[in-house]
Amino acid sequence: MEKDNIALYPGCSLETSSSHYMKSLKTVFSVLGIPFRIMNDWNCCGATSVKSIDYDLNLQLNHKNLALAEEQGIKELVVPCASCYHRLADAEYMLSKDEKRRTELNGKNDFPYKGQVKVRNILDFFVNVVGLDIISKNVKKPLSGLTVACYYGCLNTRVPLEQSFDTREYPMTMDMIVKALGANFIDWSYKTDCCGASLFITVNSIAEKLVGKILKDASLRGVDCVIVSCPMCQTNLDTKQKSIRSKNSIEQPLPVPFITQLMGLAFGCKPKDLGLNKNFVPVESILSSCSVVKNEDE
């Protein structure tokens, strides 16, 4: 792993609504000995909204990001947000296929984009760049006894086939990380089902129905929590969980920590360094399911 070439593209939500994702990433990176470098002057990826009504603008926004990353000497652009990852990986793919379009956009930009930046999903980064052995080596409080459902959502894995780092319909990278932390994962047919994304704001009845199905199934399978790596999924599954649970007669609250928060807990980091206070459904409770941690407390 060449550490000098790695930088993070955080995306808008990690600066505000998902600042706990950012905080836990920073903490986990420091434990793993990865420099926490954020790309300079990045702009919004446009998310699903821009590409829905203006595909060209979406490509321009991401061309600008990729060109800028290249100018800053970044080879590995690590993207924690699934939506940002999907847009950047799509731009990387489209611009590699369409030489004409790339040249045209290069002409409009301050910097050209030559196609030297690799867009990495955070899960891909942890498993294939950092390595599961390094992750398990840093575990101080194994999460044994904890059973989790890994929820990938849509955009983490549904990139063009040539870009994909995991099986698109039944991914396993997050499950492998969870296993390295000592926890159990379940076989789960809902792991890539849609949470409704921005329908959570625009047509909440639809999004709440989708979230309800996901939480109901997870709870019936008796998991202690649902793990995510997407800010939008985290918001949708966590924020209004109380009312969604009562509508779907789900008794137990289901904490929805980010994968980095779970890693931090296994690495023995302090809850405040993982932003656990920002989760609506309290996360600390899952620790009581871990046999090892419980023994230490006693």
Q: Which residues bind another protein (CB under 8 A)?
A: 12-13, 15-19, 41-44, 46-55, 57, 60-61, 64, 108-110, 154-155, 158, 160-161, 168-169, 192-194, 196-199, 201-204, 206, 210, 239-240, 277-278, 280
Question: Least CB distance from residue 203 to another protein, whole Å?
Answer: 6
Question: Least CB distance from residue 94 to another protein, whole Å?
Answer: 10
The one-letter code for the residue type at 42 is: W
Q: Where are the beta strands (DSSP E) in the chain?
A: 6-8, 76-79, 118-121, 147-150, 184-185, 225-227
Nearer to another protein, 161 or 220 (CB): 161
The one-letter code for the residue type at 202 is: T
Question: Least CB distance from residue 214 to another protein, whole Å?
Answer: 10
Q: Quote the CA–CA distance of 73 and 77 in Å, as a whole number.
A: 10
Question: Least CB distance from residue 278 to another protein, whole Å?
Answer: 6
Nearer to another protein, 38 or 206 (CB): 206
Nearer to another protein, 178 or 211 (CB): 211
Question: Least CB distance from residue 216 to another protein, whole Å?
Answer: 14
Find the radius of gyration of the CA atoms of the chain.
19
Q: Quote the CA–CA distance of 143 and 123 in Å, as a whole number.
A: 19
What HEC string does 143-197 produce?
Answer: CCCCEEEECCCCCCCCCCHHHCCCCCCCCCHHHHHHHHCCCEECCCCCCCCCCCC
